[in-house]
Chain A
């Protein structure tokens, strides 16, 4: 052991704070080295100086005062003592997290316009109030690529059902079948609605001169009858117009379907 290493260990050696395996080499070194032995003596002197550091006299009155104050405070706990067990770090973190979630939820809710609130329509065939606008976010049901103008089948007379419109589109564009596919449920539901509820007007080609309209999805929809083309003895069927705003502001689904025939219409049938 050299003097440099010994100088590091001497402060601990004076009160035997060294490990057992370190004690023997330092003792041997101190026996041999006068300067290190002198340093060790100085450390011992400073230790004895430290031990001479006497405490002030604390009288019993001091202690009694402290104990009385403590017992009094125990008997009447401070408000902070009552709150502290509840307001620890965990509860504070949980409370702040809940506040953040709640406030962000309120902010998000306030930012959604009232018309964007999703209304779930259980079945398309169900009676829906006229002029009701439904604005949906894009759901899986409506996730279809919109058909361009070129792909929309040209309006022809007599094409008054979705199935017919699709069939026509497939004929003209055999390679792009998928673009004209509708969900079967929807096509059937809509066709049924047309077949059953468009009354005799379609069968008699009452609207043969009318121009059929196509919505953004390419569905052929029978337009509302124009007054001049309808037989005077038949009442004008009322069309139910339903608009669906997708998440894309450029895409709006407009849905027209005839309303339930009134008694008068049934009579005419």
Chain B
């Protein structure tokens, strides 16, 4: 019984904390809307990591991700007056990120070569590690598999995998961000996961044959 009460108290605390944060965010957004650059800078600081990470996962290139992040913040500022306080800010932001990344990907049209260039440039975290142990080599190999597997996906499939599996959003949230139905998103997730698994299997079988 006491544990139940504690749980309820925790939930209430979390919800009140969340609402308090939301209120603070709303105030900052309101200030940014009225042209307060400091307030907008605060919004950027709060979301820069998420924006860069999603953009990099979508585009597979640091330079492109940086440009995309810049464009995301510019669009955010431009359309800030359209933001409805009733909806989730992060969901709205994800939608902008995905749209910007789609535009960037259409201009560039090659995810695979982009990741290859990234590996060659030594920007991947495991590659810049100075640890030459066996674990580091395995991690590098895993990164390469994931990169190549992601490069086999279509733009929409990559978006759903990034949002659902890497960013950890729910299927409904992903559907809302991408403007599709949850059924469509589930179908795309299923296809994308199957493709990744097939690529992984093929890679492992090839490795076994080589050894």
- Interface of A toward B, CB cutoff 8 Å: 8, 11-12, 14-15, 17, 42-43, 45-47, 49-58, 62-63, 65-67, 69-71, 73-75, 81
Contacts and interface: CB of A to CB of B under 8 A. Distances in A.
Given A56-B123, A66-B48, A17 B143 contact: no
B157 to A, nearest CB: 12
Given A47-B193, A67-B48, A75-B37, 19 more contacts: A11-B194, A12-B190, A14-B193, A17-B189, A42-B200, A46-B149, A47-B165, A49-B145, A50-B161, A53-B147, A53-B166, A54-B124, A56-B118, A56-B124, A65-B66, A67-B41, A71-B40, A73-B74, A74-B77
Nearest to A54: B125
Contacts, number: 109
A58 B52 contact: yes
Interface in B111-159: 118, 123-126, 128, 139, 142-143, 145-147, 149
Given A49-B200, A50-B196, A55-B53, A67 B146 contact: no
Contacts of A52: 139, 142-143, 146
A8 B190 contact: yes
Contacts of A51: 165-166
B146 A70 contact: no
B107 interface: no
A46 B62 contact: no
B44 A46 contact: no
A219 B66 CA distance: 89
The dominant DSSP class at the A interface is helix
Contacts of A47: 165, 193
B173 to A, nearest CB: 12
Nearest to B67: A66
Nearest to B150: A53
A50 B44 contact: no
Contacts of B94: none
A58 B69 CA distance: 12
Nearest to B161: A50
Contact of B125 (A45, A55, A65, A81): A55
A54 B127 CA distance: 11
A66 B200 contact: no
Contact of B146 (A8, A49, A69): A49
**In the complex, the 6 A-B pairs of residues with the closest C-beta atoms, listed nearest first:** A11-B193, A11-B190, A46-B197, A53-B146, A70-B73, A63-B48
22 contacts: A11-B193, A12-B189, A14-B193, A17-B164, A42-B197, A47-B165, A49-B142, A52-B143, A52-B146, A54-B124, A54-B125, A55-B125, A56-B56, A56-B118, A56-B125, A62-B52, A62-B66, A63-B48, A66-B52, A67-B41, A67-B45, A73-B74
A46 B200 contact: yes
A66 B70 contact: yes
Contacts of B146: 49-50, 52-53
B49 interface: yes
B103 interface: no
A125 to B, nearest CB: 68
Given A55-B56, A66-B66, A15 B41 contact: no
A265 B189 CA distance: 104
